[in-house]
């Protein structure tokens, strides 16, 4: 490869070719990125929301321990294995399986959902930046912007985050590495200060913060062990069993880099969630929160004021950076999705487009305030697509199905892919709605169903196409 070609590949982030050996990264790059991304903005929202769901101490602490373990295993033995084997983005991998026309719709849906998630993190950062301006904070029930100050702050934060994300993977990875140690220390500090404010000086007193659980707050649902376990496993379903992080781990030298996700799960989705819940527990003892509950209203979850109450200015800085380190790689992923739709466009500018959509989403607090439900839906929609990649990679040959069928047959629309996704989604989403079942309970069944259906439908349609080709060859 000459130098001019390599420059082109670097500028395009290797969207349509395997990552070359010269650009592979060791496990340290992923450790910082995952620790920074998952000890970040979402944690300031999710920890308190567990309290609003009335969860018990056992269900929270043990449920998170086991659920996060399952998430790490999913990244290590599914996502990282396939990523290192092929070294291409999720979107290019899908194009090989389902064809260009069909993957366009998936890329659009995936990119938009990433933007909405990033928008929630811009919302989180805005609650911190707004403190010096005495900005009115959004409530759990708010959906629309509540002030002009809110709009201006969100727009400024969104512009800054978008530019960083548009600089490419190296910049995203470096930013996370720089900030992750700071965030880990900050979350730990928040937890320690909150324990002191709650006058908790023993493990039994810590356990009793949640105790046997309580009734959920108005407008929230009750969480049990299975809610916590399955939600913590599948809150990142789009990234691991949904295969979105193929786009990240394609840079890994070895599949063992998948273990680095444990830094994100146990520092972020364990310690940081619990620390954020402690901040909210402190707030719930305040006269303001007691007044909300007396009026049968859920007290607001505003990460900025919660952290500021614990560690002052340091808390404001922490929340701003936490929102940034989550939104940053999320906008990067969204940019890759949009770039797959318009491959001739500059990666920089499609990432700016993704950041602009995320910023607009950040203006609406509902994405952050309903984060538990939104993340469950997000994973449920996208995870089954990952099943098709997994089953195509590991089981296609055993069932006599051609792997990467769209690429090898020259088709641009693999109907087996679409039908498997639609049928599995329709069955299990319909079951959730009709029987009022929490979506995270159905994510794994929908994933397995989609993978199996893809093999069955592919077996039928690939055989039908083969027979048609044979008849044409014989002049029938």
Lowest mean pLDDT, pick from 31-45, 345-359, 406-420? 31-45
Residues of the chain above pLDDT 70, percent: 91
- Report CA dihedral (418, 424, 428, 431) to the nearest 10 degrees: 90
pTM over the 0.95 mark: no
Instruction: Name, in order, each residue with C-beta under 8 angstroms of 358's C-beta and a sequence gap of 6 or more.
Output: 114, 115, 116, 118, 119, 122, 158, 161, 162, 327, 330, 331, 334
> For 372-401, how does the pLDDT look when each residue is reduced to its tens digit (9 = 90+)?
788 888 889 989 999 999 999 999 988 889
Other C-beta atoms closer than 10 Å to the C-beta of 360 total 16
Q: Report the pLDDT averaged over residues 389-416.
A: 90
Instruction: Name, in order, each residue with C-beta under 8 angstroms of 378's C-beta and a sequence gap of 6 or more.
Output: 113, 116, 117, 238
Q: Report the pLDDT averaged over residues 430-455.
A: 95
Residue 53 near residue 372 (C-beta atoms within 8 A): yes
- How far are the Cα atoms of 116, 124, 143, 352, 355 from residue 362, in angstroms, in the given order? 8, 9, 11, 15, 10
- Structural domains for the chain: 24-383 (1.10.4160.10)
Match 């602009």 to its residue by tokens. 356
pLDDT range class, residue 9, cuts 50, 70, 90: very low
**Lookup: tokens for 295:** 């009026």
Q: Any bridge partners for residue 14, and if so which?
A: none
Name the more confident of 402 and 168.
402
pLDDT range class, residue 467, cuts 50, 70, 90: low
pLDDT for the residue 475? 55
Arithmetic mean of pLDDT over the chain:
84
pLDDT for the residue 146? 76
User: Is the pLDDT assigned to residue 420 strictly greater than 90?
Assistant: yes
User: Is the pLDDT assigned to residue 282 strictly greater than 70?
Assistant: yes
Residue 450 near residue 421 (C-beta atoms within 8 A): yes
The whole-angstrom distance between residue 473's C-alpha and the CA centroid of its chain comes to: 48
What is the SS3 string spanning the chain?
CCHHHHHHHHHHCCCCCCCCHHHCECHHHHHHHHHHHHCCHHHHHHHHHHHHCCCCHHHHHHHHHHHHHHHHHHHHHHHHHHHHHHCCCHHHHHHHHHCHHHHHHHHHHHHHHHHHHHHHHHHHHHHHHCHHHCCCCCCCCCCCCCCHHHHHHHHHHHHHHHHHHHCCHHHHHHHHHHHHHHHHHHHHHHHHHHHHHCCCCCHHHHHCCCCCCCCCCCCCCCCCHHHHHHHHHHCCCCCCCCCCCHHHHCCECCHHHHHHHHHHHHHHHHHHHHHHHHHHHHHHCCHHHHHHHHCCCCCCCCHHHHHHHHHCHHHHHHHHHHHHHHHHHHHHHHHHHHHHHCCCCCHHHHHHHHHHHHHHHHCCCHHHHCHHHHHHHHHHHHHHHHHHHHHHHHCCHHHCCCCCHHHHHCCCCCHHHHHHHHHHHHHHHHHHHHHCCCHHHCHHHHHHHHHHHHHHHHHHHHHHHHHHHHHHHCCC
> For 289-319, how does the pLDDT look when each residue is reduced to its tens digit (9 = 90+)?
888 888 888 787 788 888 888 888 888 888 8
pLDDT range class, residue 56, cuts 50, 70, 90: very high
Match 């969630």 to its residue by tokens. 273
pLDDT for the residue 1? 37
Q: Any bridge partners for residue 25, and if so which?
A: 252
CA dist., res. 436 & res. 434, Å (int):
6
User: Is the pLDDT assigned to residue 333 strictly greater than 50?
Assistant: yes
Lowest mean pLDDT, pick from 28-37, 218-227, 355-364? 28-37
pLDDT for the residue 34? 83
CA dist., res. 95 & res. 99, Å (int):
5
CA dist., res. 208 & res. 217, Å (int):
18
Phi, psi of 299 (to 5 degrees): -60, 145
Instruction: Name, in order, each residue with C-beta under 8 angstroms of 46's C-beta and a sequence gap of 6 or more.
Output: 235, 273, 276, 371, 372
Instruction: Name, in order, each residue with C-beta under 8 angstroms of 19's C-beta and a sequence gap of 6 or more.
Output: 87, 88, 250, 251
Residue 71 near residue 375 (C-beta atoms within 8 A): no
pLDDT for the residue 226? 96
């Amino acid at each position: 490869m000459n130098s001019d070609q390599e420059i082109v590949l670097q500028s395009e982030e290797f969207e349509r070719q395997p990552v070359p050996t010269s650009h592979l990264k060791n496990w340290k790059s992923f450790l910082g990125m995952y620790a920074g991304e998952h000890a970040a903005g979402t944690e300031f929202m999710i920890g308190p929301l567990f309290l609003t769901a009335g969860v018990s101490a056992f269900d929270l602490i043990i449920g998170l321990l086991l659920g996060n373990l399952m998430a790490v295993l999913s990244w290590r033995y599914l996502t990282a294995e396939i990523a290192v084997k092929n070294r291409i983005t999720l979107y290019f991998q899908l194009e090989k399986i389902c064809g260009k026309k069909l993957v366009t719709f998936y890329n659009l849906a995936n990119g938009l959902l990433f933007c909405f998630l990033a928008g929630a993190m811009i919302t989180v950062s805005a609650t911190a930046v707004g403190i010096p301006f005495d900005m009115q904070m959004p409530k759990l029930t708010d959906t629309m912007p509540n002030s002009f100050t809110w709009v201006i702050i969100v727009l400024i934060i969104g512009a800054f985050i978008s530019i960083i994300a548009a600089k490419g993977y190296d910049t995203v990875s470096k930013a996370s590495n720089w900030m992750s140690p700071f965030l880990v220390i900050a979350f730990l500090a928040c937890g320690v200060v909150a324990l002191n404010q709650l006058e908790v000086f023993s493990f039994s007193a810590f356990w009793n913060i949640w105790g046997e659980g309580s009734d959920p707050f108005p407008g929230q649902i009750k969480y049990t062990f299975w809610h916590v376990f399955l939600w913590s496993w599948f809150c990142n379903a789009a990234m691991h069993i949904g295969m979105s992080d193929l786009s990240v781990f394609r840079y890994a030298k070895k599949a063992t880099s998948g273990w680095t996700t444990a830094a994100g799960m146990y520092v972020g989705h364990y310690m940081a969630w619990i620390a954020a819940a402690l901040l909210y527990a402190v707030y719930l003892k305040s006269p303001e929160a007691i007044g909300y509950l007396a009026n049968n209203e859920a007290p607001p979850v505003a990460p900025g004021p919660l952290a500021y109450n614990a560690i002052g200015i340091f808390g404001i800085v922490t929340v701003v950076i936490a929102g940034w380190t989550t939104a940053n790689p999320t906008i990067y992923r969204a940019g890759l999705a949009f770039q797959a739709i318009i491959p001739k466009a500059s990666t920089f500018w499609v990432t700016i487009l993704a950041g602009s959509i995320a910023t607009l989403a950040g203006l609406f607090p509902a994405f952050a305030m309903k984060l538990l439900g939104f993340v469950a839906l997000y994973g449920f929609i996208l995870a089954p697509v990952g099943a098709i990649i997994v089953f195509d990679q590991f089981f296609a040959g055993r069932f006599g199905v051609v792997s990467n069928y769209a690429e090898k047959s020259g088709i641009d629309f693999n109907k087996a892919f679409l039908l498997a996704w639609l049928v599995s989604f329709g069955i299990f989403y319909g079951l959730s709605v009709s029987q009022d079942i929490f979506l995270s309970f159905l994510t794994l069944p929908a994933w397995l169903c989609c993978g199996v259906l893809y093999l069955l439908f592919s077996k039928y349609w690939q055989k039908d196409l083969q027979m048609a080709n044979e008849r044409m060859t014989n002049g029938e």
